Chains A and B, each alone.
Chain A
């Protein structure tokens, strides 16, 4: 084995252990102040110095393992044996690394039984720094190489590296935070572990009360959340189906306009619809004013509460259901419907006995998406909920509000997670193992059967007014930012925009004096960092899931699917818990926000990448491999050029979702790193609608511009037509 890779990684790791500060620095690496204190200063010392000079003996075994890897590379031996030894040494190193990181924290040993076992510890340690992180990465790389040398993952070190990277990062930034939230839910304020506490917290009256049914009063937030989610899921699925049927199975003239609907929710911050509803139905809204003016009815707070949130969610998430269902409806094979008609079934019977049952998995999927979107929604409930509390807002108040009860937040987060996962499993049950896929590689020469008249009329009657109203709402939202005070003074003005986005020209140059600039640039910067990372990680994950076979593939796929189902609020809270103490201490930094963006949005990139990749015949990869193309070359020269649409999608999605997300990051922002959405939410909570609306509109315009830019840069796939015929049965 002539490869120099293991040698290089061992050396790089050892260099990092000698020449970089082991622990995190308050001021960051770029100050350079650490260069002089690498040996002497306790804060700046490298790993080696920490061991020798500062008595942190527990780091020694980790570095010893790394040194052992180097030794293994230098001893000539057979490929398999070298791989086996590398694997053992690096795995031991990793295990020791994790063990010391978890066992020794800010106050020495992190658990009482460790103190009992080893006695008091003089040292303590803060968060992982550059040196430690590089050592860990080197150990991971060596582990991958060791596995590959032994013939795992097709004997390819790049594939092995990609798989371990994806698995480790999902473990670290999705599984670990969720595990932490689980632990937190059992702990009291002093960090003492009390199993009964979770029950106590979950059994609270405020969560499960049913007083809205019997006797006066309000129901618990759990019921509120569930009822809202079921209504929202049912409503969006029905509306989405109506739209999908119209778009694919009727001669409706405005199909392209309908398609525009599907873009809107992607570029819209989730609370914009809520804002627009306030403009129409709020106290100073159009409807109340009209009633007041025409009949003298006093304005009501009708929109604040269940009905308002539901309405906002229906408007906001119907396009998502439409997006899911349009593919499903198109996927129903016309030939099957034609077969049904030749078997004496009329259009209606065909629709109800063939088409609808074939759409069942898609309907279940749309329902699941609606359900999860609803329970994860934070923006609309906080804007419109009034005293109708749901879990996501309740968690927010537990963390941010006066209660400051992390344990309760964790318990509520767990409950929310349980709802999401419950829906996820119910959906898988409903869809079952049976395959409903009716798109085969073969061409389908049938023509889609037109919808029966009754169904067509019903769909049109529901969908058209709904679509018109959706566009109207967006229109109001746009106009709302251009008048002085909605409801009182409709004088056209650009005041809100200047307040938010003023740029003054002074002697010192331009001054970005608008109130929104700070959060705006932070958002753009962090989203721009996160988007390529999201796309890269998502597509690599998709590539290994679709194209590589390895032990644990199903588990990995399941893990990415699961993280899709985890509501943003839960992720946000979990990040706060997991990353505000060593070994990874990044709360309050920009890094935690970027990480949250990446791992929150990656699952969608994975799904999109997997869908796109399964359309590309696997034999293309194999052809490249037999033509001496190593895995990274295959990826660059063959897979990525064919995946351009998916890359565009993942980049756009990664960016846009990072800009529009609220629920997850609301816990992670600080004064220094304030984001656009959280800024807007605060304006709304303060009743400052004008600037909130102006800002939202600016965001929407920004995102449309970004989408066009990415589309332009990455471009279309150069491909006459797809030639790969379906791969026949394999002997």
Chain B
């Protein structure tokens, strides 16, 4: 666990309660075959809110955030993202995906493209940005994640932590309104976790709407407005990080927390 993040100061909240919710999940259900992986999941995320989702493996947390940009399809319930309901309408889906950035556990950079090309591809072809402008934008975000000097290299030449920061920069280049993080530090060596979390904290400071699936409790304490605990496909408990961690209401969360703390 990254000690640097167990700091006392919690970020000032950027939640805008006046605006309509950025993301709304209403009684979402999903099955893989006969396995019921999401059970009546309801969740509202306000614009500027930072939500951390935690829970044991297989609890459906990854599936849930992958449903938000329809990498997985839900079978029941409604998901509304940025005012648009997810449906079979391809145009609406493309519009949503333009506004929702995603960072994966396994980075998923495009290995045959340079770092710069990874970052400019979508702005150029999806946002129709001129190449020069896209490259300037990419360099801006690469500077922000502190790797501008690697722009001409290929992903395979970078360390895991650097690759994940490129992945964050790549998502940011689309200027998304919402960022989804699917266990962004789980595939990293311990010494690289901090550099990625620092980048994410920086993003949170700027008021980005974020949903982050992670086991990094220090990160949750520092930046989350709300922590959502999932188990067996259900949202079991949610609340501010301090109250949730210090005063778990359910047996399941208590068990989970004790396991996590023992693990570290």
Please indicate whether A and B come from the same complex rather than being unrelated chains: no
* Chain A residues close to B by CB (< 8 Å): none
* Chain B residues close to A by CB (< 8 Å): none
